[in-house]
Amino acid sequence: MEKITRKNPESMPKPVGNYSHITRVPKGAGLFVTSGQVGTGADGQIPSSLNDQVTNTFENIKRILASEGLNEEHVIKVNIWATEEIDWDHLYPQWDAIFKTAYPSMTVAYVTALGWPELKIEIELWCADI
Protein backbone atom coordinates (compact mmCIF):
# COMPACT_ATOMS: atom_id res chain seq x y z
CA MET A 1 0.00 0.00 0.00
CA GLU A 2 1.30 3.43 -0.92
CA LYS A 3 1.55 6.10 1.72
CA ILE A 4 1.67 9.87 1.89
CA THR A 5 5.21 11.07 1.20
CA ARG A 6 6.89 14.41 1.85
CA LYS A 7 10.15 15.72 0.48
CA ASN A 8 12.35 18.70 -0.14
CA PRO A 9 14.12 18.18 -3.48
CA GLU A 10 17.87 18.77 -3.41
CA SER A 11 17.44 21.08 -6.42
CA MET A 12 15.36 23.45 -4.25
CA PRO A 13 16.46 25.86 -1.54
CA LYS A 14 15.92 24.49 1.96
CA PRO A 15 12.47 25.43 3.36
CA VAL A 16 12.51 28.63 5.40
CA GLY A 17 10.41 26.96 8.10
CA ASN A 18 9.10 23.62 9.33
CA TYR A 19 7.30 22.43 6.20
CA SER A 20 7.86 20.26 3.12
CA HIS A 21 8.07 21.59 -0.42
CA ILE A 22 6.14 18.61 -1.82
CA THR A 23 3.54 16.33 -0.27
CA ARG A 24 2.37 13.45 -2.46
CA VAL A 25 -0.97 11.75 -1.84
CA PRO A 26 -1.49 8.35 -3.47
CA LYS A 27 -4.45 7.67 -5.71
CA GLY A 28 -7.53 6.48 -3.84
CA ALA A 29 -6.82 8.32 -0.60
CA GLY A 30 -9.75 9.89 1.27
CA LEU A 31 -9.60 13.68 1.37
CA PHE A 32 -10.55 15.81 4.38
CA VAL A 33 -10.61 19.62 4.24
CA THR A 34 -11.30 21.65 7.35
CA SER A 35 -12.79 25.06 7.55
CA GLY A 36 -10.34 27.62 8.83
CA GLN A 37 -9.73 27.02 12.51
CA VAL A 38 -9.66 30.21 14.56
CA GLY A 39 -8.73 31.37 18.05
CA THR A 40 -12.11 30.86 19.70
CA GLY A 41 -11.69 29.30 23.12
CA ALA A 42 -13.74 26.37 24.45
CA ASP A 43 -15.92 28.98 26.18
CA GLY A 44 -16.71 30.64 22.83
CA GLN A 45 -14.67 33.74 23.64
CA ILE A 46 -12.03 35.20 21.32
CA PRO A 47 -9.00 36.56 23.19
CA SER A 48 -7.60 39.91 22.09
CA SER A 49 -3.95 38.86 21.70
CA LEU A 50 -2.66 37.01 18.65
CA ASN A 51 -0.61 34.57 20.75
CA ASP A 52 -3.65 33.59 22.81
CA GLN A 53 -5.59 33.08 19.59
CA VAL A 54 -2.74 30.93 18.21
CA THR A 55 -2.88 28.74 21.32
CA ASN A 56 -6.66 28.31 21.02
CA THR A 57 -6.37 27.64 17.27
CA PHE A 58 -3.94 24.78 17.84
CA GLU A 59 -6.21 23.32 20.51
CA ASN A 60 -9.05 23.47 17.98
CA ILE A 61 -6.82 21.80 15.36
CA LYS A 62 -6.07 18.94 17.77
CA ARG A 63 -9.80 18.51 18.44
CA ILE A 64 -10.82 18.52 14.79
CA LEU A 65 -8.11 16.01 13.82
CA ALA A 66 -9.11 13.73 16.71
CA SER A 67 -12.78 13.94 15.70
CA GLU A 68 -11.91 12.08 12.47
CA GLY A 69 -9.18 9.84 13.90
CA LEU A 70 -6.49 11.83 12.05
CA ASN A 71 -2.97 12.77 13.16
CA GLU A 72 0.13 14.52 11.82
CA GLU A 73 0.70 11.82 9.20
CA HIS A 74 -2.62 12.65 7.55
CA VAL A 75 -2.13 16.43 7.23
CA ILE A 76 -0.89 17.22 3.73
CA LYS A 77 -1.31 21.00 3.44
CA VAL A 78 -1.77 23.88 5.86
CA ASN A 79 -2.83 27.41 4.93
CA ILE A 80 -2.26 30.10 7.56
CA TRP A 81 -3.73 33.59 7.36
CA ALA A 82 -2.93 36.25 9.95
CA THR A 83 -3.83 39.91 10.30
CA GLU A 84 -0.64 40.82 12.16
CA GLU A 85 2.91 39.53 12.27
CA ILE A 86 3.10 36.02 13.70
CA ASP A 87 5.31 35.45 16.73
CA TRP A 88 7.06 32.34 15.39
CA ASP A 89 8.72 31.72 18.76
CA HIS A 90 5.19 31.20 20.12
CA LEU A 91 3.67 29.38 17.13
CA TYR A 92 6.44 26.90 16.29
CA PRO A 93 6.45 24.99 19.61
CA GLN A 94 2.72 24.35 19.12
CA TRP A 95 3.30 23.47 15.46
CA ASP A 96 6.08 21.05 16.42
CA ALA A 97 3.90 19.46 19.13
CA ILE A 98 1.51 18.34 16.38
CA PHE A 99 3.92 17.94 13.45
CA LYS A 100 6.81 16.19 15.13
CA THR A 101 8.40 14.86 11.93
CA ALA A 102 5.75 14.79 9.19
CA TYR A 103 5.84 18.43 8.12
CA PRO A 104 3.03 19.20 5.68
CA SER A 105 3.26 21.65 2.81
CA MET A 106 2.40 25.14 4.08
CA THR A 107 1.42 28.60 2.87
CA VAL A 108 1.40 31.69 5.09
CA ALA A 109 -0.27 34.96 4.14
CA TYR A 110 -0.81 38.24 5.92
CA VAL A 111 -4.22 39.74 5.21
CA THR A 112 -6.01 42.90 6.28
CA ALA A 113 -9.00 41.12 7.81
CA LEU A 114 -10.57 37.72 8.46
CA GLY A 115 -14.25 36.76 8.75
CA TRP A 116 -14.81 38.58 12.05
CA PRO A 117 -12.99 41.80 13.01
CA GLU A 118 -11.62 40.31 16.26
CA LEU A 119 -10.00 37.30 14.54
CA LYS A 120 -6.24 37.55 14.03
CA ILE A 121 -5.37 34.06 12.75
CA GLU A 122 -7.05 31.31 10.75
CA ILE A 123 -5.53 27.93 9.88
CA GLU A 124 -7.01 25.56 7.30
CA LEU A 125 -5.97 21.90 7.03
CA TRP A 126 -6.03 19.54 4.07
CA CYS A 127 -5.74 15.92 5.14
CA ALA A 128 -5.66 12.54 3.41
CA ASP A 129 -6.32 9.07 4.78
CA ILE A 130 -5.20 5.90 3.05
Quick check: 1 pLDDT over 90?
A: no
Radius of gyration of the chain (CA): 15
39 near 46, Cβ under 8 Å?
yes
Domain ranges of the chain: 38-129
Please name the amino acid found at residue 80.
Answer: I
pLDDT of residue 2: 87
- Predicted confidence at residue 101, as pLDDT, reads 82
Alpha carbons within 13 angstroms on the beta-carbon side of residue 14 total 3
61-114 confidence digits (pLDDT tens): 999 999 999 999 999 999 999 999 999 999 999 999 999 888 999 999 999 999
Count Cβ neighbours within 10 Å for each residue of 100-110 and write b for 16 or more, e otherwise.
Answer: eebbbbbebee
CA distance 98 to 71: 8
Please report the pLDDT score of residue 102 as a whole number: 85
Report pLDDT for 130: 82
User: Which of the four CATH numbers 3.40.50.720, 3.40.50.300, 3.30.1280.10, 3.30.1330.40 does domain 38-129 have?
Assistant: 3.30.1330.40
- Give the C-alpha separation, 115 to 93, whole Å: 26
